[in-house]
Amino acid sequence: MTDTREWRDAVPRRAPVRLVDSARFLSKAECEAIARRVFALARGGGQSQVAISSWWQGELRWARNRVNLASDRRDIRVRIERTVIDGHSGAVTTNQTDDASLEAAVRAAERNAAVRPAGLRPVPFEPPPVPRMLRPTTAIWSEATYALDTESRSDIVRAIIGPAEERKMLSAGYLEVRGASRVTVNSDHSTGYDAPWDLPYTQWTQAQLSLTVRDQHGTSSGWAGLSSYDWSAINAKELAVRALEKALASRDPVALEPGRYTVILEAQAVADLIEIVAGSMSRLDAESGRGPWALQYDEAYHRMRTKLGRKVVDERITIGHDPVDPALGLVFGNLATGAQPVTWIEHGVLTNLSYPRDYALSQLHTDTGVRAMAAYRMSGGDTTIEEMIRTTKRGLLVTRFSNIRTLESGSLLATGLTRDGLWLIENGNISKAVKNFRFTESPLFALNSLEQLGPAERVFRPTVVNDSAQPLTPAIVPPLKVRDFSFTSTIDAI
């Protein structure tokens, strides 16, 4: 029998496969070349539209102070839509760009366009053209992010793990960087998805880092994280120190009775709560009597009135998004909404809810819709967390929340868990670590019970989508001091 070691040594060892950096994603010229090939393959008249996105993602994950995943991935998505003479359309998506695959995709799109629902006459909807607008020039590209190759990511993670390992603690987390491009072109030489914009080809970067430090016995935990288009805005060593300090400070927690407490919510905990509000900002839902922004049925107008124009939270709160804000970057939206500044809440007053362009045309007689609250900046104050602690007689300091779900949509009553660091404050000082609580509270109640606000800051808001060419949806929020926050039970999770 052959010795296994001899057989292994006899196998030629190959160097790691490295992808060419210039091929991380498609250039504008490469996208246009693919579009021209698709247009040449079309048969039977009509129009063609080609939407091309390409992306690169590098990631590194670790647990128990050891790396368990390192990857470098790239992909392309080509969406081909064929619109035939009677106005019906069909679409197919592929990630293959050879001639045979593109031709097969075009034929499949034409077959899909030929399908008709039984008994229905084709009545295509043709909205008026979107007025042309200039795309704002926004900083969404970072060379620092694009330059973070596999070796650089490894060096960063080694520096993160080192301090935790020295203190006999366990570190886990992940680091992701991405670069992507997108363009949509019509066969009539107009741009499709980006019809109102100049310079339809767009490229961007994004980076995110999240890490948790725990002790060997699983009795304490600390977390820190941040996301941005620009890696240079993420201080990995600072985040590692913060997570380690929280883990060390949360050892030997004591149990407190559930009840209503004054809480100091770090910015991440605030963002976790605002996610519930962001998902409720629909005008169509409000006018159908659903969600927290529906008011009452108006007999005179035979429609549901909304809370637009009414004070809904503390007057110190303003929430909006400006696509030229360099800290937020450009977040893509629907036609005629993607690059429009929007303020949803201004000085506590509900001023906007999201709605599509066809609703704006038919109901409001305007030409633009309002996009959803994907990325946002929330106003803050000038009180530091240290000052909030000094002015608190008895309360709790909360790092973040997890496992949040809505219990009642009308009030946004929700439940979730405190995680990765919870401390009791007594007479202006942090006195001890506390076992985690389950909360049952509405973010609207919290935003109406504010005592103090801190400076707004970036938070960790990961991208959770099926397509890695999707840009980040960043958020900037302040830490808050809130009175009478409801905790309903203790939990064993750390």
Q: Give the integer Cα–Cα distance in Å for 449 and 314.
A: 7
Does a structural domain hold residue 144?
A: yes
Q: Are residues 433 and 302 in the same domain?
A: no
Does a structural domain hold residue 228?
A: no
Domain end point (choices 345, 374, 403):
374
Domain end point (choices 311, 343, 374):
374
Cα angle at 32 between 42 and 38, to 5 degrees?
15
pTM of the model: 0.86
Does a structural domain hold residue 10?
A: no
Q: Give the integer Cα–Cα distance in Å for 231 and 177.
A: 8
Predicted confidence at residue 6, as pLDDT, reads 43
Q: Give the integer Cα–Cα distance in Å for 173 and 337.
A: 36
Q: Are residues 193 and 302 in the same domain?
A: no
Q: Are residues 315 and 454 in the same domain?
A: no
Q: Are residues 181 and 305 in the same domain?
A: no
Contact 120, 131 (CB under 8 A): no
Predicted confidence at residue 361, as pLDDT, reads 82
Tens digit of each residue's pLDDT (9 = 90 or more) over 263-278: 999 999 999 999 999 9
Structural domain range at position 72? 21-114+126-215
Going residue by residue through the chain (494 aa), what tens digit of pLDDT does each one get? 444 344 334 434 444 444 456 568 888 889 989 999 999 999 888 888 899 989 999 999 999 999 999 988 889 999 999 887 666 788 999 999 999 999 999 999 998 888 765 555 555 556 666 665 555 666 788 999 999 988 999 999 999 999 999 999 999 999 999 998 888 888 876 544 444 333 468 888 999 999 999 999 888 999 999 999 999 999 999 999 999 999 999 999 999 999 999 999 999 999 999 999 999 999 999 999 999 999 988 777 777 899 999 999 999 999 999 888 888 876 665 545 556 789 999 999 999 999 987 888 888 888 778 888 888 999 999 999 999 999 999 999 999 999 999 999 999 999 999 999 999 999 999 999 999 999 999 999 999 999 999 999 999 987 655 556 566 788 999 999 999 999 999 998 88
| CA distances for 437 relative to 69, 256, 348, 417, angstroms | 33, 9, 29, 6
CATH number of the domain at 30, please. 3.30.2290.10
Q: Are residues 366 and 263 in the same domain?
A: no
Q: Are residues 162 and 301 in the same domain?
A: no
Q: Are residues 64 and 132 in the same domain?
A: yes
Predicted confidence at residue 201, as pLDDT, reads 80
Does a structural domain hold residue 202?
A: yes
Q: Are residues 408 and 326 in the same domain?
A: no
Q: Give the integer Cα–Cα distance in Å for 322 and 324.
A: 5
Q: Are residues 185 and 39 in the same domain?
A: yes
Q: Are residues 147 and 194 in the same domain?
A: yes
Does a structural domain hold residue 43?
A: yes
Q: Are residues 364 and 392 in the same domain?
A: no
Domain count within the chain:
3
Does a structural domain hold residue 236?
A: no
Does a structural domain hold residue 60?
A: yes
Does a structural domain hold residue 119?
A: no
Domain end point (choices 164, 192, 215):
215
Q: Are residues 77 and 199 in the same domain?
A: yes
Query: What are the beta bridge partners of residue 450?
Result: 482
